[in-house]
Amino acid sequence: MENNKSNQKTTVKQKIWELVEATDHEDKPKKDLDYFDWFILILILLNAVAVILETVKSIDQRFGDYFLAFEIFSVIIFTIEYVTRIWACTSQPEYSHPVWGRIKFIFTPMAIIDLLAILPFYLAFTTLDLRFIRTLRIFRLLRLMKLMRYSSSISLFGKVLKNRKEELIVTASIVFVLMVLSASFMYFAEHQAQPEAFPDIPTSMWWSIVTLTTVGYGDVFPITTLGRIFAAVIAVLGIGMFALPTGILGASFVEELEKQRLELNAKKEKKKCKHCGELIE
């Protein structure tokens, strides 16, 4: 009710704010994206594609100018979007003060991401160091983070992480101790035989990770009998531990999505026994 009431009083500034901001009044991603949202969404995805394709030499040599034009176009749009947001944010109660409200808004996570999306472009003008400019190009992929504004799956993901925080900390610390211990054991067993593959414990951790995740590139592996026995025991016991956080996250994810669906269904119809009319629990 009150929402509708306050909507009636919306100024132009507030309407613009609602246009450029994809989140609704409760900070959840909007269900129905408007044309502007879709335009920005597709622009972000095209930017990601452009960054990826630019690294391919043959494509860059041929279409380099188009990429540059698209980059300038994107930065202009994103800059306008960013400036508009800063200008319009004062229409919201929490950022109402013309100076302090805007400064407060600038330091919200989404506003920082918006800044990071355009900053590399402007920074490139401040230097002549070509290597630095090249490095900046990759940072353009940070624009993908702007997608977070539109994604309900990421907000779901955050929820899962929060729900299972305790379990994840417990298993993550087990995983970490396991990684350190197995790296130390293998260093102890293999350092003499393969000083270049297991030169020290931090480097041996690479073996731990590659083995415990079952990736097994084959660039480092034990060759001594003791090392192989250690590796066998570590692999059999450790892979189970490494799979724990995954299993917990996965189970929780499915559960959370199930809950969302049930809530949706529950709203539509409460189940009743067809014959006596009583609610079935």
Scanning residues 205 to 224, which ones bind a copy of itself (CB under 8 A)? 205-206, 209-211, 213-219, 221, 223
Q: What angle, rounded to 10 degrees, do the helices at 165-190 and 225-268 form?
A: 170
Q: Site for a copy of itself (CB under 8 A): which residue of 76, 193, 254, 266?
A: 254
Q: Which of residues 99-128 bind a copy of itself (CB under 8 A)?
A: none
Q: Any contact of residue 138 with a copy of itself (CB under 8 A)?
A: yes
Q: Cα separation of 281 and 186, whole Å? A: 57
Tally the residues of the chain: 281
Contact between 174 and a copy of itself (CB under 8 A)? yes
Tokens of 240: 């189970």
What is the C-alpha separation between 271 and 160, in angstroms, rounded? Answer: 28
Contact by Cβ (8 Å): 13, 88: yes
How many residues bind a copy of itself, per CB under 8 A? 78
The answer to whether residue 71 forms part of the interface with a copy of itself (CB under 8 A) is no
- Report the Cα–Cα distance between both ends of the chain, in Å, rounded: 32
Write down the least CB distance from residue 103 to a copy of itself, Å: 31
Report how far residue 53's alpha carbon sits from residue 139's, in angstroms, rounded to the nearest whole number: 15
Q: At 30, is the secondary structure helix, strand, or coil?
A: coil
Q: Does 136 interact with a copy of itself (rule: CB under 8 A)?
A: no
Query: Does 56 help bind a copy of itself (rule: CB under 8 A)?
Result: yes
User: Residue 91 or residue 182: which is nearer to a copy of itself going by CB?
Assistant: 182
Q: Between 99 and 264, name the residue whose CB sits nearer to a copy of itself.
A: 264
31 binds a copy of itself (CB under 8 A): no
